[in-house]
C-alpha cells in the first residue's frame, strides 16, 4: 500500500512539474509589452559616460528575431559636448536590436538641435552603428535664415 501511495505522489509531482513547465514556456513565448522604451548608445572610451544617441518610444512590442515595434519614436543624437545634434520623431517604426537599425515606411520629422533645419518625409532607415539616416520619399526641407529672425532695434 505504501508503495502505491509513493507511486501516486511521484506521478502527481511529475504531472504538476510538467504543467508548471508548460505554463513557464508559454509565458516566455508570449509577447511582452513595454511602456516608455529607451535604448541608449554611448561614445567609446574615454568618453563612455557620454550619451551618443537615445532611441525612445511610448510603447514597444517585441517580435521574433530581436525586432521591436516602437510607437511614438523619438531619436536624439548628441555631440561630445552633450548638446543635441538632431531629433527624429515618427509615429511608429521597427527597431532591429541585432542590426541596430530603425525603419518605417511612415512619416518622419527631423530637426537639428537648434531647430533651424527641419526635414519631413515618408519612409526612413536609421543605422545606429554609423548614425546614418536615410529618408526615402516626399522629402520636404526648411532652412531657417538666422538673419531674418533678428529683431530690428
User: What residues are paired with 41 via a beta bridge?
Assistant: 53
Instruction: Give the CATH number of domain 34-147; options: 3.90.110.10, 1.10.150.110, 2.60.450.10, 2.40.160.40.
Output: 2.60.450.10
Check whether 151 has a pLDDT greater than 80.
no
C-alpha closest to that of 69 among 91, 52, 47: 91
Report yes or no: 93 and 70 within 8 Å, Cβ to Cβ: yes
Enumerate the domain spans of the chain.
1-30, 34-147
Average pLDDT taken over every residue of the chain:
78
Comparing 30 with 135, the larger pLDDT belongs to 135
pLDDT tens digits along 35-90 = 888 888 899 999 999 999 898 999 999 999 989 999 999 999 999 999 999 999 99
Check whether 4 has a pLDDT greater than 90.
no
Report yes or no: 54 and 85 within 8 Å, Cβ to Cβ: no
Compute CA 109 distance to the chain's CA centroid, rounded to the nearest angstrom. 16
Q: How confident is the model at residue 121 (pLDDT cuts 50, 70, 90)?
A: very high
User: What is the predicted pLDDT for the residue at 149?
Assistant: 55
pLDDT tens digits along 29-41 = 444 677 888 888 8
Report yes or no: 34 and 59 within 8 Å, Cβ to Cβ: yes
User: What is the predicted pLDDT for the residue at 50?
Assistant: 93
Per the confidence metrics, is the pTM higher than 0.75? no
Amino acid at each position: 500500500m505504501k508503495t502505491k501511495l509513493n507511486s501516486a505522489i511521484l506521478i502527481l509531482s511529475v504531472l504538476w512539474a510538467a504543467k508548471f513547465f508548460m505554463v513557464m514556456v508559454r509565458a516566455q513565448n508570449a509577447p511582452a509589452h513595454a511602456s516608455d522604451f529607451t535604448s541608449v548608445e554611448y561614445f567609446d572610451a574615454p568618453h563612455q559616460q557620454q550619451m551618443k544617441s537615445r532611441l525612445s518610444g511610448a510603447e514597444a512590442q517585441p517580435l521574433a528575431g530581436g525586432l521591436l515595434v516602437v510607437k511614438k519614436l523619438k531619436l536624439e543624437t548628441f555631440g561630445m559636448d552633450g548638446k543635441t545634434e538632431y531629433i527624429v520623431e515618427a509615429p511608429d517604426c521597427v527597431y532591429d536590436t541585432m542590426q541596430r537599425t530603425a525603419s518605417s515606411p511612415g512619416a518622419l520629422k527631423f530637426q537639428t538641435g537648434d531647430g533651424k533645419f527641419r526635414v519631413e518625409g515618408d519612409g526612413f532607415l536609421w543605422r545606429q552603428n554609423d548614425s546614418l539616416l536615410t529618408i526615402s520619399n516626399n522629402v520636404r526641407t526648411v532652412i531657417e535664415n538666422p538673419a531674418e529672425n533678428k529683431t530690428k532695434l
